Chains A and B, each alone.
Chain A
Amino acid sequence: MTHATDREAIPEPQNPLGLDGIEFIEFATSHPQALGGVLERMGFRPVARHRSREVELYRQGTMNVVVNAQAADIPRTVHPGERPAISAFALRVRDAQAAFRRAKDLGAWEIPVRAEAMELNIPAIHGVGESLIYFVDRYDEFSIYDIDFRAIPTVDPHPPAVAGLHWFGIVQYVGADRTDDWVAFYSQIMGFRPLPHEVRFGIMPRGLLLESPCRKFFLQLIEPEETARFAPMEEHLQRVGLGAPDVPAAVAALEKRGIEFLATERVHASERGALTKPLLGSVMFELVKSDPRP
């Protein structure tokens, strides 16, 4: 008897890792309090501190942000510096070990098996530049933060989101002519799908959009322009995109909290989106008109 796949093409599953959105986004910084101040102005609240490391958890609505000031001792990871950098994102998956194994088999670099920012053994792979991608499962039964973190007393552990903010996506800067390589990487390993060029969100139209197989968030790949194309290659996670059901309302609420938005001829807040001025020299948040997906 011949094997089934010899006779017919069995399509790859649409969502091979059982991806289910972003569990957290991690920033690395040597000035965690300064970044904490920025996050609070953006509507996040500190809800827990790591039991043993210089790591804090911020939250608003469904969004978790981990602020890591602990120097990592593995190569090709972000060293916390004065300017905060997006050092990792964690993906919710059906089975973290299975997702990790599949990613490895398809060409992802595993990071050494050991406890990272978390005491829990969360499997991770190298992403763009010095960033990491974590795989987290069992996020609905219990929280990974229950084990590693100590709740900050008297603080609401589930602060509501300002103006309905939710994760929309992550913007990744890639080198010249490198978009196709990253599209192949994300689609082969994680099942992301490139969107047609006419599909655009927000007010920052450049680059290529990849939709997660769970359809809950996007990655946006942006190449350098013009003469910057000849500069040495620089690739990293550049900014976080937040979805807002009503962008002008979200802009107004955040301005009231002390956040400033770019208001130039080319880039200014509108119904479609808005972009904050750079904070602490490097941190930007982009607002995009979007309703949270269930």
Chain B
Amino acid sequence: MMTFHDFGMDTASLAGPLDAKLAAVREAGFAQVMIAAADVVGHPGGTAAGIRAVRDSGIEVTGLEALRDYEGLAGQMADYKIDVAKAMLETCAALGGRLLLVEASTSRHAGTDAGAIAGDLARLANLAVPLGVRIAYKALPWSRTAPDFRAAADVAMRVNHPNLGVAVDAFDVLAFGVPLDDLDILDPGQTFLVQISDYTSREVRSSEERLATAAHFRVFPGEGAHSDDLAQVVARLDTIGYEGNYSFDVYNDDYLQVPPAVVTARARRAATWLSETVLRRALPVPDVARLRAAPS
């Protein structure tokens, strides 16, 4: 059963240094936050200080984002990417995070051989096992490997590793007009994260427009032109048994020019709307909630 606490902010939605972002997230009452890796390694005091800031905040880490253009490479490029992946896995574990978001490759250098891609991702899944981190593989519309969640689910099925699942971006479901029934193909146990955001334009006509909207003009659920559709997506995910976290992947240039508290207040409204109005879910068993929230 879900509550407000199953929704989290994303540091990429907020302006300012990491400490200010975390403070705003906490003050808005969020219990979890998705960490953009650049916010940690770009901390003015260095990576260790960034990690400490996250740990000291007491906010649970939804996951670390994002490993990009990882799969399908060969030779030295593949070795280089493995090193990047390892560094991100270590950062994720140091943050106390249990999930690394991996975005499907958009690299022109990446091959598309399904077997090779599955092998690369299985290797990543194994690398993540000793660190206690799960791999959430997310489609990108401009990826050749996995342009939507259906393709990402196919890749994950081929990888067939319990430590690798998919992340679904609800934005991509809406922006592409994917039939709601297609969400039924998802294995709820292997769906590790749902990212959720809305946008204000009624339609996106071209792929250029879609890219621009995805990167710059997203808004929080309930603020855009697609509230009803979004509500249906969330309700359907709930119906198929998805019990994981929801993260607001709101990438919006305007939000990077206003104080973080203004943005987190809007996020709070969205989380309340979704948890109380859309999902109308029961409260969790109290002692479980308490134990989960216990500081480590």
Q: Is the CB of A189 within 8 A of B292?
A: no
Min C-beta distance of A88 to chain B, whole Å: 13
Write the residues of chain A forming the contact surface with B, with a CB cutoff of 8 angstroms. 105-109, 126-129, 175, 178, 180-185, 188-189, 227, 230-233, 235
Chain A residues with Cβ below 8 Å from B283 are none
Interface mask (B284-296 → A, CB under 8 Å = 1, otherwise 0): 0000100110101
**Which of B105-113, B117-125, B243-251, B265-273 participates in binding chain A?**
B117-125
Interface residues of B in 94-144 (CB under 8 A from A): 98, 122-127, 129-130, 132, 134
Given the interface contacts A128-B130, A178-B132, A181-B163, does A107 sit within 8 Å of B122 by beta carbon?
yes
Chain A residues with Cβ below 8 Å from B123 are 105-107
Chain B residues with Cβ below 8 Å from A128 are 130
A128 to B122, CA, bound (A): 18
Shortest beta-carbon contacts, A-B, top 4? A107-B126, A180-B162, A230-B291, A232-B296
Q: Is the CB of A107 within 8 A of B127?
A: yes
Min C-beta distance of B294 to chain A, whole Å: 7
> Would you call B216 an interface residue if the criterion is a C-beta within 8 Å of the partner chain's C-beta atoms?
no
Q: Is the CB of B291 within 8 A of A185?
A: no
Chain B residues with Cβ below 8 Å from A183 are 162
Closest residue of B by beta carbon distance from A181: B163
Given the interface contacts A180-B162, A182-B129, A185-B129, does A230 sit within 8 Å of B294 by beta carbon?
yes
| Candidates B126, B288, B294, B296; contact of A188 at CB < 8 Å | B126
A129 to B132, CA, bound (A): 9
Q: Is the CB of A184 within 8 A of B291?
A: no
| Candidates B132, B291, B292; contact of A235 at CB < 8 Å | B132
A141 to B59, CA, bound (A): 56
> Would you call B161 an interface residue if the criterion is a C-beta within 8 Å of the partner chain's C-beta atoms?
yes
User: Interface residue count for B (Cβ, 8 Å)?
Assistant: 20
Min C-beta distance of B192 to chain A, whole Å: 12
Q: Is the CB of A189 within 8 A of B126?
A: yes
A233 to B61, CA, bound (A): 14
Closest residue of B by beta carbon distance from A129: B130
> Would you call B281 an interface residue if the criterion is a C-beta within 8 Å of the partner chain's C-beta atoms?
no
Q: Is the CB of B127 within 8 A of A184?
A: no
Q: Is the CB of B124 within 8 A of A107?
A: yes
Q: Is the CB of B294 within 8 A of A181?
A: no
Q: List 22 A-B contacts (CB under 8 A).
A: A106-B126, A107-B125, A109-B86, A109-B130, A126-B130, A129-B130, A175-B132, A180-B162, A180-B163, A181-B129, A181-B162, A181-B163, A182-B129, A183-B162, A184-B129, A184-B162, A185-B126, A185-B129, A185-B130, A227-B291, A230-B288, A235-B132
A127 to B124, CA, bound (A): 15
A189 to B123, CA, bound (A): 9
Q: With contacts defined as CB atoms under 8 Å apart, how many contacts are there between chain A and chain B in the complex?
A: 54
Q: Which of B86, B161, B162, B288 has the most CB of A within 10 A?
A: B162
Chain B residues with Cβ below 8 Å from A227 are 291
Min C-beta distance of B72 to chain A, whole Å: 16
Chain A residues with Cβ below 8 Å from B98 are 233
Closest residue of A by beta carbon distance from B93: A76
Min C-beta distance of A105 to chain B, whole Å: 7
Interface mask (B193-226 → A, CB under 8 Å = 1, otherwise 0): 0000000000000000000000000000000000
A230 to B291, CA, bound (A): 6
A126 to B162, CA, bound (A): 20
Closest residue of B by beta carbon distance from A233: B132
Q: Is the CB of A184 within 8 A of B126?
A: yes
Min C-beta distance of B190 to chain A, whole Å: 11
A126 to B89, CA, bound (A): 14
Q: Which of B98, B129, B161 has the most CB of A within 10 A?
A: B129
Q: Is the CB of B122 within 8 A of A188?
A: yes
Q: Is the CB of B163 within 8 A of A184?
A: yes
Chain B residues with Cβ below 8 Å from A108 are 126-127
A182 to B128, CA, bound (A): 10
Given the interface contacts A230-B292, A232-B296, does A184 sit within 8 Å of B130 by beta carbon?
no
Chain B residues with Cβ below 8 Å from A107 are 122-127, 129
Min C-beta distance of B115 to chain A, whole Å: 9
Chain B residues with Cβ below 8 Å from A178 are 132
A107 to B71, CA, bound (A): 13
A105 to B123, CA, bound (A): 7
Chain B residues with Cβ below 8 Å from A181 are 129, 134, 162-163
Min C-beta distance of B162 to chain A, whole Å: 4
Chain A residues with Cβ below 8 Å from B122 are 106-107, 188
Q: Is the CB of B288 within 8 A of A184?
A: no
A231 to B291, CA, bound (A): 7
Min C-beta distance of B83 to chain A, whole Å: 11
Q: A106-B122, A184-B161, A230-B292 are in contact. List 19 more A-B contacts (CB 8 A).
A: A105-B123, A106-B123, A107-B123, A107-B125, A108-B127, A109-B127, A180-B163, A184-B126, A184-B129, A184-B162, A184-B163, A185-B126, A188-B126, A189-B126, A227-B291, A230-B288, A230-B294, A231-B291, A232-B296
